[in-house]
Amino acid sequence: MATDPVELYRSAIVIDATCPLLDRKGFLDSYRRGGVTALCPTVGATGGAAETFRALTGWLAHVREQDDLLLVRRAADIDEAKRSGRIGIIVHFQGADPVEDDLALLDGYHAMGLRMLQLAYNVKNRVGDGCEERTDAGLSRFGIALIERLEALRIVLDCSHTGYRTTMEAMERATRPVVFSHSNPRTVKESPRNIGDDQIRAVAATGGLIGMNGFPAFVAARQRPTVDDLIDHIDYTVQLVGDEHVGLGIDYYQGQHPFVDEAEARRLYDGWVAAGHWNPANYPPPPYHYPQGIETPDKLPHLAERLSARGYGDDSILKILGRNWQRVFREVWGA
């Protein structure tokens, strides 16, 4: 007999592997109400070392000051967070710009808690091309060296936002599981930010996974997708590579409804476009309504209910909610 999905969710380790919403730490309360066990704030992205160092030290101080937070350095810390009723904080960089041209910085970031690094953020950098570049070059020499250092430090290699050839070459070189922390199958919703079937198969072959992304433009053609639209992406990926290669990377964002008003959402959007990080052809302007039913992190338990209603059994739901991320983290970081 299947477990009640609400009870199953409460018992589960729930991991959201992409949380730029937490650029404003006050929004942690929504994740607290949602019963999330561990999450990955975007601590570094398109800034350099000085900016990233300040952001990272800010997070370390915040974790120290909050009794219900725990800095995750190894897989067992996630189990401890669940046992003790705390939230595990996993340091994630959405791009390699914080490394600048000095791989030794990776050692410092790792010592401070970095556990997952994305290669590019939409555009070309020292590592390779982003997924929205005009060109589709593969890894640079620096990119190859960076992957070697990530592997030596046992930092999870993340291919979201990264160009096709760069991702494929990165996965060929990897010896441990690779991830797309927040990407959806392009067959379900066409977008340069989503990924093709061969990329999905390649990441699964490394033992890695794809975190399903709730950003509305990557879920469905309509402005207000539903949780079932997101589950369509889960269904497709499960049918393609199996339920052990799917997780959550919802990508809740500080510019989404209802966290900011329309004027503030537009200001944030215009800033990303002006900086060249977002292409209006692929990132439509706000408002951003995340999938109805899980519009905000506090509503994530509803995902378990809809997965159950769509025919997923307890074991599959537990894998998707967090167990698959746990496995990848254990294999890359060690127990």
Supply the pLDDT for residue 110: 98
pLDDT of residue 1 exceeding 60: no
Among the listed residues 82, 72, 89, the one whose alpha carbon sits nearest the alpha carbon of residue 35: 82
pLDDT of residue 3 exceeding 90: no
pLDDT of residue 6 exceeding 80: yes
Average pLDDT over residues 142-159: 98
Q: Residue 319: give the domain boundaries.
A: 5-333
Supply 35's token pair. Answer: 């019963």
Among the listed residues 47, 57, 30, the one whose alpha carbon sits nearest the alpha carbon of residue 97: 47
Instruction: Check which CATH number belongs to the domain holding 42 and give it.
Output: 3.20.20.140
* Residues 44 and 96 sit within 8 Å (Cβ to Cβ): no
Predicted confidence band at 30 (pLDDT cuts at 50, 70, 90)?
very high
- pLDDT, tens digit (0-9, with 9 covering 90-100), for 239-295: 999 999 999 999 999 999 999 999 999 999 999 999 999 999 999 999 999 999 999
Spatial separation of the C-alpha atoms in residues 149 and 151, rounded to whole Å: 5
Spatial separation of the C-alpha atoms in residues 334 and 202, rounded to whole Å: 22
Spatial separation of the C-alpha atoms in residues 157 and 178, rounded to whole Å: 5
Total structural domains in the chain?
Answer: 1
- pLDDT, tens digit (0-9, with 9 covering 90-100), for 123-146: 999 999 999 999 999 999 999 999
Spatial separation of the C-alpha atoms in residues 147 and 38, rounded to whole Å: 25
